[in-house]
């Protein structure tokens, strides 16, 4: 039977950038999508599949507190500069599940959108940063 106390609670997760804890971040998600090529096979209508390319993408949810990332990501708008490429360090922790404690180093992060401005009267401003990355390392 499932020990409910061992279910991971995201409350204790943290995100770090250049050694700084980003206290406004409320969530992060990392995914690696494997693209499969269809392989027709003789003697059957059932297609086989061969692993091909892999796309790694992620999303950061946060409260809008500073324009720091927007300013950094916006450097791509200058034709004399390239894309902003960085690393992130995601920290997992849950006092009731020490097996999940650890860090994930996210490499080659490049953001896919520039959240320039958004607000709604009477509401806390949140933003979502979508990004691609080239790899990760569990530490």
Question: Mean of the pLDDT values across residues 110-127?
Answer: 94
Helix, strand, coil abundance in the chain, percent, nearest 5: 15, 45, 40
Per-residue pLDDT of 55-75, as tens digits, reads 999 999 999 998 888 999 999
Structure confidence at residue 19 (pLDDT): 94
**Residue of 6, 7, 16, 17 whose CA lies nearest to 84:** 17
Per-residue pLDDT of 71-88, as tens digits, reads 999 999 999 999 999 999
Structure confidence at residue 136 (pLDDT): 97
Percent of the chain at pLDDT > 70 equals 100
Structure confidence at residue 99 (pLDDT): 87
Rg (CA), the chain: 19
Per-residue pLDDT of 2-17, as tens digits, reads 889 888 888 999 999 9
Structure confidence at residue 123 (pLDDT): 95
Angle 14-15-20 from CA coordinates, rounded to 5°: 110
Q: What is the pTM of this model?
A: 0.89
**Residue of 90, 127, 97, 100 whose CA lies nearest to 111:** 127
Average pLDDT over all residues of the chain: 94
In CATH, the architecture of 10-138 is Roll (2.30)
């Amino acid at each position: 039977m499932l020990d409910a106390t061992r279910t991971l609670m995201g409350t204790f997760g943290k995100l770090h950038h250049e050694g700084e804890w980003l206290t406004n971040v409320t969530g992060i998600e990392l995914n690696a999508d494997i693209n499969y090529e269809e392989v027709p096979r003789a003697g059957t209508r059932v297609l086989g599949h061969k692993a091909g390319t892999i796309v790694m993408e992620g999303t950061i949810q946060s409260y809008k507190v500073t324009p720091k990332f927007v300013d950094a990501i916006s450097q791509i708008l200058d034709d004399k500069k390239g894309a902003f490429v960085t690393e992130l360090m995601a920290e997992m922790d849950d006092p009731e599940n020490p097996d999940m404690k650890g860090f994930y180093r996210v490499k080659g992060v490049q953001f896919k959108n520039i959240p320039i401005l958004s607000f709604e009267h009477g509401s806390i401003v949140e933003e979502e940063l979508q990004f691609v990355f080239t790899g990760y390392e569990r530490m």
